[in-house]
Every structure is written in C-alpha cells, then in structure tokens.
C-alpha cells in the first residue's frame, strides 16, 4: 500500500515561489499602468501637442487605445492580486472546475490562472 496520494495543494515553499513571481509581475503591471495613465494625462493636459503633426482624429484614436490598454492592465492587476489572495488562503493553483492542481508550467506562464489546461480546453470546445 505504498500508493502516493495525489497532491491537493501546493506546499508552503511552492506557494512562496509563486508569491514572489506574482509580486514581480504585479510590480511590472503597475508600472505599465502608470505609463498608460501618464500618457493619457499628457494628452488631456496638452491637447495642442497631442501627437505632433497628427490631426484630431488620430489623437482621439490614440487616447482610446491608451484607455483600452489601461483598462486591460487594471484587469490584469486585479487577477494578479486575486492570485495573491488565493496564495494566502492556500487555495492557489487549484483548478476551479476539476479541483485538481494546475501544472506548475502553466502557473509559471499564467500565474493568475484558475483553470487547468484540460478545463480551459473543454470550456473552449463548448463555446
């Protein structure tokens, strides 16, 4: 009876490794968001210098593009912050569909993932 039980959660040491990884990504994401917000602020504060030599339509398009990128970055930051909460609760890395551990490789690539590859593929097939 030497069967190894399937792991149901990552060890505290593994969770700490993921926490460090996520905090680094979070810091970079916040810096990127601040860059987008600074660019938007610059466009708003100085409408005449929107983009040198470009007409108003292009300035508006650039403003919309930056607004969309800032929104995506905010959502990314929220996902990373949620992942840190799951680490604190020791629920990090568990697929919300299958209840099994998400592979380390997937979590290193997408540290805020809440679905295993298997669950994500099944969900995409149903869509």
Domain chopping of the chain, boundaries: 12-126
Q: Quick one: pLDDT at residue 1?
A: 43
- Alpha carbons 36 and 69: distance in angstroms, whole number: 7
Provide the pLDDT for residue 54.
Answer: 53
Q: Hey, CA dihedral for 19, 25, 26, 31, is it positive or negative?
A: positive
Does pLDDT of 35 surpass 50?
A: yes
Does the 12-126 domain belong in CATH 3.40.50.720?
Answer: no
Using pLDDT thresholds of 50, 70 and 90, give the confidence band for residue 70.
very high
Q: Higher pLDDT residue, 10 or 45?
A: 10
CB count, 10 Å around CB of 76?
A: 17
């Amino acid at each position: 009876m030497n069967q190894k039980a399937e792991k149901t959660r990552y060890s505290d040491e593994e969770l700490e490794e993921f926490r460090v990884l996520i905090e680094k990504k979070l810091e970079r994401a916040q810096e990127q968001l601040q860059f987008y917000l600074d660019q938007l602020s610059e466009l708003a504060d100085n409408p005449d210098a929107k983009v040198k030599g470009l007409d108003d339509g292009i300035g508006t398009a650039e403003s919309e593009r930056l607004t969309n990128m800032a929104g995506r970055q905010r959502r990314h930051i929220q996902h990373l912050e949620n992942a840190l909460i799951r680490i604190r609760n020791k629920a990090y890395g568990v697929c919300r569909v299958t209840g099994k551990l998400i592979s380390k490789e997937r979590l290193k690539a997408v540290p805020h993932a809440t679905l295993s590859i298997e669950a994500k593929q099944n969900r995409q097939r149903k869509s």
